[in-house]
Amino acid sequence: MGDLVERTEWGRLITAMATPMDASLAVDYAQAARLARHLVDTGSTAILVGGTTGESPTLTDDEKSRLLETVLEAVGDRVPVLAGTGNYCTAESVEATRRAERSGAHGVMLVAPYYNKPPQVGLYRHFRTVAEATSLPVMIYNIPGRTGVNISPETMARLSEVENIVALKEAGGSADQAAEMVRAVRGRMRVYSGDDSLTLPMMAVGAYGVVSVASHVAGRDVRAMVEDFAAGRAAEATATHHRLLPLFRALFVTTNPIPLKAALRLIGLDAGGPRLPLVEATEAEIAVLRRAMDEAGVAVSA
């Protein structure tokens, strides 16, 4: 494994943090600090702000910067804080990454460019251009269900040779593809699951950990699951996975982070509602969440 990968220790449980909003749907920075502290207190080994779960498409540049600075101030001395800085424009991604570096981020995550659907050579050049514009360690994010483009294992093999590209968040929905990614990068970067429900299958084929949504409400259990598996306690990890599986699924009963924000309200950590074009969870969706949280042993206070 490359030297920078070895020195970039983000741990096995990175939480993709929701962005709290107040009643007027302005970013609630005080609640963001409280949520970040809750995540670290319940097992997160690193926090990602300004990702899709954080509603990045509807945050302004100024909001993203202030949110990052807020979370850094709240927990940056306890865990690494990463910033989501990628979009469909390479030049804008470069500027956002430089802005995050100036703010003190410990790393950045770059989602595959969405909507414009670049070919593989375009993906390679995009990620390499952004990575070369910063000294920060970089995580690539592959989520074809949202972006409309799938990063191939061959492209990831090429990207793994870029010194500061150290990790991949793989959310292609396939353990087979995850295995191909692990095989392609040959230990030059760490592969993280981008789907809570596939974390254990992906770790079985070589993934290192998870960039999680469920850890907002079940952080200790998610961390125990990944650490048990890494330590060879497969039976214990499998039992936890089975118990949490209804929760993993319920948190995606509709578009993320709609169910997550409802779940946070249910455990007494109100993060407000999502901004349009996302909408609040329906009563039927909340009922699904309640049942799943009960099955998972997550205490509901609201």
Please list the active-site residues.
141, 169
Phi-psi region of 43 (alpha: psi -120 to 50; beta: other; left: phi over 0): left
230 contacts 12 by C-beta, under 8 angstroms = yes
158 contacts 120 by C-beta, under 8 angstroms = no
108 contacts 85 by C-beta, under 8 angstroms = yes
299 contacts 286 by C-beta, under 8 angstroms = no
Would you state the torsion angle of the CA atoms of residues 56, 61, 63, 66, taken in this order, to the nearest 10 degrees?
120
What is the secondary structure of 119-176 as a DSSP string? -HHHHHHHHHHHHTT-SS-EEEEE-HHHHS----HHHHHHHTTSTTEEEEEE-SS-HH
The end-to-end CA distance of the chain, in Å, is: 46
Q: How many Cα atoms sit within 13 Å of 93 on the Cβ side? A: 25
Query: How many angstroms separate the CA atoms of 114 and 97, rounded?
Result: 17
